[in-house]
Homo-oligomer: A and B are copies of this chain.
Amino acid sequence: MKALVYHGPGRKKLEQRPMPCIGSPADAIVKITKTTICGTDLHILKGDVATCAPGRILGHEGVGIVTEVGQSVTNFQAGDHVLISCISSCGKCENCRRGMYSHCTTGGWILGNRIDGTQAEYVRIPHADTSLYKIPAGADEEALVMLSDILPTGFECGVLNGNVQPGSTVAIVGAGPIGLAALLTAQFYAPSEVIMIDLDDNRLAVAKSFGATATVNSTDGRTSLKVMELTGGRGADTVIEAVGIPATFELCEEIVAPGGVIANIGVHGTTASLHLERLWDRNITITTRLVDTVSTPMLLKTTQSGKIDPKRLITHRFKLDAILEAYETFAHAADTRALKVVIEA
């Protein structure tokens, strides 16, 4: 089969690979129909993800058709139309039992990282019963590709951890795909204000069209002042970090209101400064989280009922044969205005 393979920092290749096969009774094989590229795939290609060894098929998002299941799989059978979760969850370990699937002792984020992933014609899914979701008849496959990772990530790490509430004020730092996913899902809770912060005016315009009530271009270094003006000097109740560098995290520290939350989504490679001398008595909360995908059933329901339209995140479409071009498009988003690119396998 065709698969996009990581060959060390800066090197990837679309090549022929053997078909995956059932390795454990809990496995399923899924024929990929649609997949996509995540910012994390770019991190891997920079060599930033030590757990991803050369030779690995990339990708941890996708939808497809089950072609085969192991003996202990009871929820799925060949022919089922399924959504693949970016997080593999055994459902049995202590972490899974408490809903922290991201830290499943034999799963977590392994697809396209520790084991072969979804940017291929077929993929082996471990712990299939608790890592796949049935796609309802009539659902839009493209919309559901957004439910593998980006929507639950924006929702769980940003919106849920950030405790977005009706009437509250939210600031989201970073209007890339993940920040926009947080923006879309924040609206489940009817916040009064959502302020979107980014360097890119195009992305801020997109944010406005997605429901942001105000936008701040942070180029001039006056972001903190502007957010204070927009919030009557209070700051935001929820601040969502969706970039992953110290400067943006420290901006969050400046604009969070007393009693508020900083919910980190960004993948950080460097230590940030925590200004406890200013924050120790401000009654704030800071959270970090690798997505658990516990919200996937809810996201399926809200997508099906039209409460959210995940397809708005999709800007480009490619065939699997053109996946290298898809990576180029996604990697140069400032020029291409790409958000999510869907790849048809």
A: residues with CB less than 8 A from B are 25-26, 71-72, 74-75, 90-92, 94-100, 102-103, 109, 129-130, 165-167, 187-190, 192-193, 213, 244, 246, 249, 258-259, 264, 266-277, 279-290, 292, 294, 297-302, 304-305, 307-308
Cα–Cα, bound, A98→B277 (Å): 25
**A-B pairs, 8 with minimum CB distance:** A72-B72, A268-B276, A167-B298, A281-B290, A167-B301, A192-B305, A91-B91, A274-B274
Counting every copy of the chain, the complex holds 4
What's the minimum C-beta distance from A137 to chain B, rounded to whole angstroms?
13
Cα–Cα, bound, A99→B193 (Å): 23
Cα–Cα, bound, A72→B269 (Å): 39
What's the minimum C-beta distance from A179 to chain B, rounded to whole angstroms?
15
Hey, which chain B residues are within 8 Å of A244, CB to CB?
280
| Contact present for B188 and A190 (CB under 8 Å) | yes
Known contacts being A274-B271, A298-B166, A302-B166, is A72 close to B71, with CB within 8 Å? yes
Known contacts being A92-B129, A167-B299, A189-B188, is A276 close to B285, with CB within 8 Å? no
What's the minimum C-beta distance from A315 to chain B, rounded to whole angstroms?
25
Hey, which chain B residues are within 8 Å of A308, CB to CB?
190
Hey, which chain B residues are within 8 Å of A25, CB to CB?
25, 71-72
Hey, which chain B residues are within 8 Å of A100, CB to CB?
258-259, 283
Of the candidates B26, B72, B91, B272, the one whose C-beta lies within 8 Å of that of A130 is: B91
Known contacts being A276-B288, A283-B100, is A304 close to B91, with CB within 8 Å? no
| Contact present for B276 and A281 (CB under 8 Å) | no
Hey, which chain B residues are within 8 Å of A270, CB to CB?
276-277
| Contact present for B277 and A269 (CB under 8 Å) | yes
| Contact present for A274 and B277 (CB under 8 Å) | no
Of the candidates B167, B297, B304, B307, the one whose C-beta lies within 8 Å of that of A297 is: B167
Cα–Cα, bound, A165→B190 (Å): 12
| Contact present for A288 and B277 (CB under 8 Å) | no
* CB-CB nearest in chain B for A244: B280
Of the candidates B109, B167, B285, the one whose C-beta lies within 8 Å of that of A302 is: B167
* CB-CB nearest in chain B for A307: B190
* CB-CB nearest in chain B for A299: B167
Cα–Cα, bound, A188→B190 (Å): 5
Cα–Cα, bound, A195→B249 (Å): 31
